[in-house]
Structure 1
Amino acid sequence: MLAVFAKAVGKPPEELRLPAMGSHNSKAPQQIVKNFQSLYPDSAVYNLPNGNFMALCHVDESPIYPRSIVVLDDIFCIFMGALANVAELRHHYGLPRQATEAMIVIEAYKVLRDRAPYPPDQVVKHLDGKFAFILFDAKAYTLFIARDRDGSVELQWGMASDGSLVCSDDPIIIREGCGQARAAFPPGCIFINGSGLTSFDHPLHKVRAVAHEDDSGNILSVYFQVDLYTKIPSIPRSGSAANWADAAELKGE
């Protein structure tokens, strides 16, 4: 799986760049996608507006945590893993028995976007299973990424040479595309452009980047963890005009 989003849409955390300061071993987004297609010639690549990409292949796919992609109403969702409460979620969102996990995530996002009185962390908490997903609303220019609290499904993110956000479950793709400017996507977290990185178990606490340094003070890598000592004064509520304002502004760019 591969997803690449221009900096104007993805706005990756600047801390991802720290291990690569002074180096130039990351690639341009088009080259990263080309490398993915070369490595996985049977992959399906979706060219999204303004130089954004999503791609999926089934090579080395786990039978326990399969990959799938669904496109509905200009909303693209890659889902990896499985949910244990699919039947309950179908009933909750009024979906047919044929609805897959990716379809459920899209419907949950649409409810958040259009009318939900509760924040995204509450929606993700209702997903009982081992999963990671990347959702992109091509109309609203909203990016929504999440990974289960146990980190059961591999998901890494990094920065391309132009600052674009790169996500993949393939460590080789991330390493060759982003060089040192990469990290594991933190378990138990969601990322929404305009809102940033949030823990769905501790939504009122900041998620901070922690640098791993060598004896000389050089940053070797970064990882993200919840800072239980620092609270966020407030968090935007999904469904409010303010919550998706940044995404609406991006659409006009």
Structure 2
Amino acid sequence: MLAAFEKGIGKPPEELSLPSMGLQNSKTRQEIAETLRVAWPEATMYSLSNGNFLALSHEDESPTHPRSIVVVDDVFCIFVGTLENICDLRRHYGLSRQATEAMVVVEAYKVLRDRAPYPPDQVVRDLEGKFAFILFDAKRGTLFTARDRDGSINLQWGMAGDGSLVCSDNPKIITEACGKACAPFPPGCIFMNGSGLMSFDHPLHKVRAIAREDDDGSISAIIFQVDLLTRLPSIPRTGSAANWADAAAVNEE
């Protein structure tokens, strides 16, 4: 899978550009899209406004980690992997037995979107399995990305030459698109434009960028990790959201 979104939507963390010569040889969204068309001519590609796009190829697909893409009411979702509790999730969201993992994620997002204050960490915490997904709500310009707790599915993100956010499960594609300005997407985390990067198991703690240096003292890589020693200020919630927040706090203590 591959997705690229302009800086105004994706707002990639600035730390992604810190590795030495990070943005050198990186490409623009248009150049990345053209490279994709040549490398994956059979890929399904959705071109959105302002050069943003999502694409999916089944090349070298693992039978245990299938890839799928779905579009429902202008909500696009690429899903890689499987959900172990998909039957329970179908019942919870009132979906048919034919609903795929990608459809379940779209429905979960719509609940998050339409029934505020519904915490995004609770939505993803209910997903059990090995997965990574990229979701984009074209009507609202909302980007929503997540990776399972164990990092079972490869997911990389990076900053393109024009400042765009690029996400893919293919490390080679990310390197070609972003040069060294990329990093593994942290396991057990979600990213939403507007709220940024957060852990869905530890939502009250900040996810920090950790710089790694080479022998010359230059930054060679960036890794994002949950800082369990720093607690984020929380906004009081009401109703059921308050119960979820209290439960999260108890679990972390």
TM-score calculated relative to the size of structure 1 = 0.91
Question: 1:151 maps to what in 2?
Answer: 151
Contact residue 17 and residue 181 of structure 2 kept, 8 A:
yes
Aligned to 1:250: none
Q: Report the alpha carbon displacement of residue 24 of structure 1 after superposing the two structures with TM.
A: 2.1
Give the match for residue 246 of structure 1. Answer: none
Q: Decide whether the 8 Å contact of 1:195 with 1:236 is kept in 2.
A: no
Separation in 2 of the partners of 1:165 and 1:22? 14
Shift of 1:92: 0.2
Distance apart, 1:235 and its partner CA: 5.8
Instruction: Output aligned runs, 1:90-239, within 5 Å.
Output: 90-234=90-234
Q: Deviations over 1:46-94 (max 9, x none)?
A: 0012221000010000100100000000000000000011110000000
Q: Distance in 2 between matches of 1:129 and 1:235?
A: 30
Whole-Å separation in 2 of the counterparts to 1:236 and 1:21 = 43
Q: Identity, % of aligned pairs?
A: 70
Residue 216 of structure 1, CA deviation: 1.8
1:97 is paired with a residue of what secondary structure?
A: coil
Counterpart contact for 1:19–1:181, Cα < 8 Å: yes
- Equivalents in 2 of 1:122, 1:110: separation in Å? 13
Give the Cα–Cα distance (whole angstroms) in 1 for the partners of residues 170 and 200 of structure 2: 24
Paired residue total: 237
Which residue is equivalent to 2:243? none
Unaligned runs of 5+ in 2: 238-253
CA distance in 2 between counterparts of 1:109 and 1:235 reads: 21
Contact residue 155 and residue 168 of structure 1 kept, 8 A: yes
Asked if the contact 1:119–1:236 (Cα under 8 Å) also holds between the matched residues in 2, the reply is no
Shift of residue 40, structure 1, vs aligned partner: 1.0
CA contact 2:23–2:178 (8 Å) conserved in 1? no
Alignment of 1:35-114 (within 5 A): 35-114=35-114
Deviation string for 1:73-132 (max 9, x for gaps)? Answer: 000000000001111000000011111000000000001100144301111010010000
- Cα-Cα RMSD: 1.3
Gaps in structure 1 of 5+ consecutive residues: 238-253
Mapped partners of 1:68, 1:22: distance in 2: 31
- Name whichever of 18-27 and 222-231 sits farther off: 18-27
| Aligned-partner Cα distance in 2 for 1:122–1:40 | 35
